[in-house]
Structure 1
Amino acid sequence: MTGAVLLDLYDTLACIGSDAIAAARRRGAELAGVDPDCLLDRWRDTVDARSAGRMGTPAEEIRRLLEGCGGAADEDLVRELTALEGATWWSGVRLYEDVPAALSALRRQGIRLAIVSNCSWQTAGVLEATGLAGAVDAVVLSFEVGLLKPDPAILRVALERLDADPASSVLVDDLAANLDAARALGMATVLMDRAGRGTPGHPAARDLTAAAAALGLSPPGSTARRAGPPTAPPGGPALPPR
């Protein structure tokens, strides 16, 4: 019997369009008087460091990024750019249409839920803005714990917070490497394959309702989809977080 479900965030429960992020960061570069392409490259090159919490507070992170492009980052500018970055994420993330009802159905069945995400500081606000923070029992964000999937240690943190055993738990994620790590811990796995790419090696579902059905947890009267066009939220296709 499934006692706990660990859920990836981006491209599993929610997505954000890259255009809004890139535009805000270019605007930030202009305000700081640095080359926009340089700053965008710095954002991309530091994904793992930021997601592991190795670049300090949000303000320290912004300052280091600007300094990496030769910019002088005074306190007021850093504050402005930090606010711009956060607001862009918090207003731009959209949940997939199937997610709210599916999460509610799982919780009604007594399933403990945790979000486990590789992300940086912006995501804490995203969870509040979308209501996901109150829709699950635990949240494990990589920048807070200093661990990144596919390191199984971050999955263990989530299991501990749920007081769950790996053998009775599941990871739903869109990346096979993360699912491989979960399987090595003795967890069941479901690949969230909203685009229908057909990655082999793990049972696949194209929305969260179908993932629940694959676990035998489909709520009465629900229709789980394993084929057909993926469910897309307002705001565009699913894109990896950066």
Structure 2
Amino acid sequence: MTDDRRKERVPSRPEAVFFDLYETLITEFEDGRRRSKRAYDYDGLLGLSAETFKAEWGARQARRMNGTFRDYPDVLRDILAARGLAVDEGAVRLLHESRLEEKRIPFAPIRADVLELLTRLRARGIKLGLISNCTREEVDAWDGSELSPHFDDRIFSFEAGCSKPDEAIYRLACFRMDVRPEACVFVGDGGSRELEGADRAGMRAFHAHWYNTYIESAYPKLASPLELLHYLN
């Protein structure tokens, strides 16, 4: 789709704005480094090198996102079984607790202009939705976060059984909030080709470029959250 055709589809007052979560509303990084300073002893705890674990973890990406695996411990058990290794439930529990703690870190504090954007959109009567490719432990802190009260609904891929950029997840989000895709906006950092998926589903896509600046796209780039308002005025 050309830029001119995209511009024609900008709703001056959208029925809803949908957001990605990681690297859009929250970030795991600061000054180019992970805030968690994570380091897991996969070798000592599981009997796997970090390289081997990374390869096995990546091979399960789609199944992790669509809820095939119930939770993080299930993924670990599957990796160990595939490698013919015994499962040490104590090690699995320790790694799970560490990952839960790691994934809580990005939820506090929330960037002030992100919260301001959400407040101003709601003041205009615009519904707010979340569409996140995630696993259970990655959003364990969502309900207790500052973000949650601003949203009318949230779609987590592991619960939905589908993930971005599949059009089905965007259409599900619209159905649950009783809005039309063509009257909605999607904002995300562009990972998982989520912007293209939103576009195909009929939404107006904007590229959140304030955290992750490494992904390229043909969609309008927002250098800061509040820039979205300029497109909607």
Tell me, what secondary structure is at the counterpart of 1:98? helix
Q: Does 1:215 align with 2:232?
A: yes
Choose from 47, 71, 93 the match for 2:61: 47
Q: Provide, for residues 114-152 of structure 1, a one-character-per-residue CA deviation record: whole Å limited to 9, x for no partner.
A: 110111112221323533222211110111111111111
Choose from 206, 213, 225 the match for 2:223: 206
The 5 A counterparts of 1:1-242 are: 1-17=13-29, 19=34, 23-24=38-39, 26-93=40-107, 95-175=110-190, 177-194=193-210, 199-216=216-233
CA contact (8 A) 2:113 2:225 kept: yes
Tell me, what secondary structure is at the counterpart of 2:154? strand
Q: Provide, for residues 155-213 of structure 1, a one-character-per-residue CA deviation record: whole Å limited to 9, x for no partner.
A: 01111121111122111122183223322333222111225569453222112211232
Q: Relative to structure 1, is the Cα distance of residues 110 and 77 closer, same or farther in structure 2, using a 3 angstrom cutoff?
A: same
Rounded Cα–Cα distance in structure 1 between residues aligned with 2:137 and 2:183: 31
Q: Provide, for residues 23-59 of structure 1, a one-character-per-residue CA deviation record: whole Å limited to 9, x for no partner.
A: 34x2354223332332233223322221111223332
Tell me, what secondary structure is at the counterpart of 1:15? coil
Task: Give the TM-score, by structure 2 length.
Answer: 0.80
Rounded Cα–Cα distance in structure 2 between residues aligned with 1:66 and 1:29: 12
CA contact (8 A) 2:187 2:205 kept: yes
Task: Give the TM-score, by structure 1 length.
Answer: 0.77
CA contact (8 A) 2:185 2:203 kept: yes
Alpha-carbon distance, 1:21 to partner: 6.2
Name whichever of 58-67 and 116-125 sits farther off. 58-67
CA contact (8 A) 1:16 1:93 kept: no
Partner of 1:234: none
Rounded Cα–Cα distance in structure 2 between residues aligned with 1:185 and 1:100: 27
Q: Which AA in structure 2 matches 1:89? A: K
Identity of aligned residues (%): 27
CA contact (8 A) 1:52 1:146 kept: yes
Tell me, what secondary structure is at the counterpart of 1:182? helix
> Aligned-pair RMSD on alpha carbons?
2.5
Tell me, what secondary structure is at the counterpart of 1:55? coil
Q: Which AA in structure 2 matches 1:136? A: F
Unaligned runs of 5+ in 1: 217-242
Partner of 1:238: none
Q: Which AA in structure 1 matches 2:206? A: V
